[in-house]
A and B are shown apart, each in its own frame.
Chain A
């Protein structure tokens, strides 16, 4: 298996700091927004039901503040998502794939093709409306936080998957 693996040496590897990164599809922010809106809506409905059927009189006088709290909290979170969105970038090089994200906590991950065990693409219901997909890459060992790129065009994701697969099996 791995004994027969050939990987031609590269002369000079480009610097990760100067590698051009590509932003993920702009439509994916719509997906985030819809998801976000749905979750907030569910929480609000939940609170409303609790108020109607469960809460006692003493809590009921804070009704408006509960909704206000949820809305303030979610709008802060939404702003963070909005600002952090342009930071989600990925780069495909000849021998590896990289992803970086984060506004307050910047993270950059690179997985060399020669260590990839398998690649997966999947489409969540709302992403499918916008023809978007996510690409996950698994390596050996504790595979909990390998590479996951959400929100790239479906054809693009499939193309990358094909590309990586051909590299693994080469």
Chain B
């Protein structure tokens, strides 16, 4: 296919890479010194003209140094392919030589952030099995070279048949901009609102810290207390606030969905999914079916209304819990029923489990939920009453109690599981509904928990640990739990199939 490149000699990245590295270095420097810059801009007018000149000289010197550094990084970053190994040497002062045998390479992903899109180069990252340290990113390669490299490695892995002509493939899921709009309208807005506020509060905290260090906190505090007293006085303001929050929630959902899932298309191949998405950072992910630990299909009342759900694939997380955990979650949004069927059929061999009877947890589960909720409400109201000291506070109970009961009943109703020889389905959710599909043999270890209160009702909790997190089945009959426990161990210990 792309045999114009052989990669037997050491080669550098595309010369445009210098610019990419330069921008990345500047970005890193700004991230490190942004507080410093903030102070500089704030008091810019206070500097004398001499001072300003020094600042200009300093900044341009820094930019020059960063360029030099970017150039040196570029010059020293070289890779080649030899004897079925990918070899990379890099580093200006500390020289590093990395060798990866082909059979250890799991995925080769393409990525494009906004700068890379403008210049027209691709970042490729090479993902290896197991160890988290050896993950290689080549920041700038032309499309042909990137594809040639990928083809060379995949051919080397003797997966030639996988490299089918891409043009023939029909995407199983393709989301247009209009579809994406519908997806974003039906997102979990509450969650996105919280996310938005978490970011805003985090930002304000940082600003506040800077102000504090200058002894100017009084001004800001005064402003805040003033606006809060206004807030409690005026009903109109509250109404405006509610509308504003709704708008913010909708907007933040929209921005989040569009940023991540823009132009989403998913292709189904022999042993993998290929998923392309993203607006500012375009990502192309190859997801090997074998690596998928479990699949969750989620929906909420709004989404159900227009007949869409989203699918979350969970891959194995290697090593201890690290920040990369999020990247191992891959979501396909806005899937229709037929598309879900296709995905399910292609990941799992057989789905007879769907026909087996739905089992619900023991009534003990309901009791336990209600017990903890009542306790939680009691503590909340005690604390609130302690601070506000108005009996009117308890009027809100007329809303809180029915809502809590309704939500808990929903939660209890959604808890269920289905089990067959090979597979397990676990359903859960509060407002959203999540249904997780799991191949039993992919379980890592299993745990059964029983408190003395549960023992009296003869129920137990079951926890199945997979390579991508826990799956819980709470409060089922003890005999049933033991049966599933034994069956799971039997399946794990007799299977020869690789779990990853």
Contacts and interface: CB of A to CB of B under 8 A. Distances in A.
Interface in B471-500: 482, 485-486, 489-490, 492-496, 498-500
- Most chain B beta carbons < 10 A, residue from A103, A104, A113, A141: A141
Contacts of B293: 141
Contacts of A140: 316-318, 444, 467, 499-500
Interface residues of A, number: 35
Contact of A2 (B448, B451, B470, B500): B500
Given A7-B494, A96-B493, A107-B449, A141 B499 contact: no
Interface in B419-463: 443-452, 455
A147 B445 contact: yes
A95 B489 CA distance: 9
B492 A115 contact: yes
A28 B34 CA distance: 55
B499 A2 contact: yes
A141 to B, nearest CB: 4
Given A16-B486, A106-B450, A139-B444, A114 B320 contact: no
Contacts of A16: 482, 485-486, 489
A141 B469 CA distance: 7
Given A16-B489, A143-B320, A5 B449 contact: no
B468 A96 contact: no
Contacts of B493: 7, 10, 13, 95-96, 112-114
Contacts of A111: 444-445
A111 B488 CA distance: 11
Contacts of A6: 496
Interface centre among B316, B319, B451, B489 (most CB of A within 10 A): B489
A114 B488 CA distance: 13
A13 B448 contact: no
Contacts of A52: none
Contact of B496 (A5, A103, A110): A5
A111 B482 CA distance: 15
Interface of B: 129, 293, 316-321, 443-452, 455, 465-470, 482, 485-486, 489-490, 492-496, 498-500
20 contacts: A1-B498, A5-B496, A7-B493, A13-B490, A95-B493, A96-B493, A103-B452, A105-B449, A106-B450, A106-B455, A107-B447, A110-B445, A110-B447, A111-B445, A112-B493, A114-B492, A139-B444, A140-B318, A142-B469, A143-B319
